[in-house]
Chain A
Amino acid sequence: EAEVAQSPRYKITEKSQAVAFWCDPISGHATLYWYRQILGQGPELLVQFQDESVVDDSQLPKDRFSAERLKGVDSTLKIQPAELGDSAMYLCASSLQSDEQFFGPGTRLTVL
């Protein structure tokens, strides 16, 4: 069964450092999503891609967060510099157009 892959699964970093997360969506899925899930809360959409184009980044803190999907396949989410409040689970999901979203296992970030 095809799955969304994410790496790393866990990341510990110090504040002011740069971190990057990688996501490989299900093959053929044109739409890719990055969510942030703070402990005790539901996931919140950070950015949505349609192929290589950003269609919604209204909740992305653009002063420190960036996301790219250069070839319209895999994607990278970067934080520079990391802050204590960025500690959270970062989830990637993919879908066929606006179809059901399939989620990866997530990357748990701890900022010290």
Chain B
Amino acid sequence: AQSVTQLDSHVSVSEGTPVLLRCNYSSSYSPSLFWYVQHPNKGLQLLLKYTSAATLVKGINGFEAEFKKSETSFHLTKPSAHMSDAAEYFCVVTPFSGGYNKLIFGAGTRLAVHP
């Protein structure tokens, strides 16, 4: 079975400091992995995706994530947080490499950014 565990339910950073949101996955197959962001009163938006190509994936708004098979991790990072980054972030796995199909979401990490 496939699953994701987001290790922090809440993360708080100061504006201009680095962001690290942690995600571990479990999959019987070579998975595809994603990060989605959810701002209040808005739909979920895809930040980035890993589909068995380069292990370091760059996404929108300066975010990136590194797929580490040995650690079964897919942590999301950003060098410098902006106030507009405050939102809920979801790590997502799908069991089919290269495709989207059924998405399995983690519980989410709420990111707060302080001035």
Chain A residues near B (Cβ < 8 Å): 3-4, 40-45, 48, 56, 91, 93, 95, 98-106
Number of interface residues of B (CB under 8 A): 19
Complex: chain B residue closest to A99, CB-CB: B100
CB-CB nearest 7 A-B residue pairs: A42-B105, A103-B43, A103-B44, A98-B99, A105-B43, A43-B105, A98-B100
Q: Is B46 an interface residue (CB 8 A)?
A: yes
Interfacial chain B residues near A45, Cβ < 8 Å: 102-103
B105 engages A4 (CB within 8 Å): no
Task: Tell whether A91 pairs with B100 under 8 Å between CB atoms, given A42-B90, A44-B105.
Answer: no
Mostly, the A contact residues are: loop
Q: Given B41, B43, B102, which contacts A4 in the complex, CB threshold below 8 Å?
A: B43
Mostly, the B contact residues are: loop
Q: Given A4, A91, A100, A105, which contacts B46 in the complex, CB threshold below 8 Å?
A: A100
Q: Given B96, B100, B107, which contacts A42 in the complex, CB threshold below 8 Å?
A: B107
A42 engages B108 (CB within 8 Å): yes
Q: Given A44, A48, A100, A104, which contacts B43 in the complex, CB threshold below 8 Å?
A: A104
Interfacial chain B residues near A4, Cβ < 8 Å: 43
Q: Given A3, A40, A105, which contacts B107 in the complex, CB threshold below 8 Å?
A: A40
Q: How far is the CA of A98 from the CA of B107 in the complex (A)?
A: 23
Task: Tell whether A91 pairs with B43 under 8 Å between CB atoms, given A41-B108, A42-B108.
Answer: yes
Q: How far is the CA of A104 from the CA of B42 in the complex (A)?
A: 8
Task: Tell whether A91 pairs with B99 under 8 Å between CB atoms, given A42-B106, A42-B107, A44-B105.
Answer: no
Complex: chain B residue closest to A101, CB-CB: B100
Q: How far is the CA of A106 from the CA of B90 in the complex (A)?
A: 16
